Amino acid sequence: MKEKTKVLFICLGNICRSPAAEGALKNLVHQKKLTHSFEIDSCGTSGYHDGDLPDPRTRKAAEKRGIHLTHKSRKLTTNDLNYFDYLLVMDENNFKDVMSLTRDTKIQEKIFLFGQFRSDKGEPIVPDPYYKTEPAFDKVQDLVEDCSRGFLNFLGV
Ligand code: 4NP
């Protein structure tokens, strides 16, 4: 039997962008009846919000799209770098931070800017909404859903 594709979303706090992306991809994979083929998780490069649920604004934006987020924030570990097949980061700071944790090119090749999978070929960044207001959280939710579609396309599913 084919192994699961293991996907880890990474942002700074793991309470806004990466749990939103985790929810969006899980939702799409569920719709495609492919849940059994994937393991999908998220984490942060910081442990600032360890154990916290996603930000209430993130949860609200997801709920509007029928997605219920229950993930608890956790910090990225070195084990994650080995375990997951795809390390999908939200911005260049995340990219640099994760890259700096390893010199192993096999691991570095697993790190992608998630925004590179967006359909409009805009900036390959999912911007941090934390210091912004609700519309920014809706935009993040739309963007991570679009990028999730692009990522599944990239995987050929
Ligand atoms: P995230 O957003 O990286 O998308 O989860 C942030 C959450 C918290 C903080 C910064 C960004 N913070 O500074 O606490």
- With 0.95 as the threshold, say if the pTM is over it: yes
Q: pLDDT confidence of 122, banded at 50, 70, 90? A: very high
State the distance from the centre of ligand 1 to the C-alpha of 154, rounded, in angstroms.
28
Fill in the amino acid letter for 119. S
Of 66, 64, 63, 80, the residue nearest 14 (C-alpha): 80
**For the chain, how are helix, strand and coil distributed in percent, rounded to 5?**
45, 15, 40
Work out the mean pLDDT of the chain and round it to a whole number. Answer: 98
Q: Is the pLDDT of residue 1 over 70?
A: no
Query: How far out from the chain centre does Cα 114 lie?
Result: 7
Please answer whether residues 9 and 41 qualify as being in contact, where contact means their C-beta atoms are separated by less than 8 angstroms: yes
Domains of the chain: 5-155 (3.40.50.2300)
Pocket of ligand 1 (CB under 6 A): 11-17, 48, 128, 130
Catalytic residue among 55, 80, 91, 128: 128
Fill in the amino acid letter for 145. E
Q: Is the pLDDT of residue 118 over 90?
A: yes
In this prediction, residue 42 carries a pLDDT of: 99
pLDDT digits (tens, 9 = 90+) for 66-106: 999 999 999 999 999 999 999 999 999 999 999 999 999 99
**Rounded percentage of the chain residues whose pLDDT exceeds 90:** 98
Residue nearest to atom 9 of ligand 1 (CA): 13
Q: Is the pLDDT of residue 56 over 90?
A: yes
